[in-house]
Structure 1
């Protein structure tokens, strides 16, 4: 059984390595030197291995036999577009289902999560971007959970780190607009309006993609 202190240490190491990857201090598509990383973070091998296993499940690193861990490459524009096409196919349908399924407790949870949306990040590192990133992941995951489709939920959980890693390197800063779009979505979900919820999700995904500076067209 994992003791609380061990869990806290493992979570801290996970966050530290995530920040190093997101900020490019560990370059995309590069091999991770575990000994060097453990020394830099001043941790033992065990919590670092646990953190790397979590990052592998999230899709930020891959592990090869006899070679160890390598960070995943940044998404190409084609890969990014494909992921957004997938999300546009799946997430509006999940939003519609969530609007039909949401009960009073779900509506309270949606409202509480909306309150957590931060202002636009002011810094250029992952530490300042993290709160917006985590809010966005939680809200989209909450919609999928309320919809009741666990297969779709698991698929989307693996997409978020990739999408947000791309956003970090593309320089997206959109907390205020994200809050407004999420507010429209939550309002439709709370009214129990499937069509409006699907439309709000679709609009949010499309405008979020267009906000990326490298894709402005």
Structure 2
């Protein structure tokens, strides 16, 4: 295989292995996709954020973060606080669902303002220290082993992010018949609450 393609394939594989997991960001994208609310904007923000972080990691930002540990401590605390708040909101929706909890299958949802959805998406992305540890530090370190082909590695990882978020956000519609029932939303929000709370605890224990 050509060296360029090999590096790109390696980046694609590692990028997908790091991003395809149950987490705060993926849970939010899934929920927006199921509700049909601002899906394109949310997917674009997630993908572009990943691309920026991948480029930063390959350019050497990972080494800078490792050289100044207090930066990650600040991000861990901020991320834990935000995730705790989001977990509480999800738990409240699960325990006390509103009358409009069932999915609107005929038209796109309008329950969440675009600015609010984007703000939440940005916070779940940029206040998550795992993003820096995985995307910037780990992926950047592996990219450096590819020498002159490291930007092909970055291109592969970036392509993986774009493909994943697009599939998650727009593919969620296939589950809409299931989520037409309020009980399904209560289960999803319950799972999201547990995931967010667990991530917050993990962040605090890692200090």
TM-score range, shorter chain: 0.3 to 0.5
Output the TM-score relative to the length of structure 1: 0.33
Q: Which one has more relative contact order, counting CA pairs under 8 Å at least 6 apart? A: 2
Output the TM-score relative to the length of structure 2: 0.34
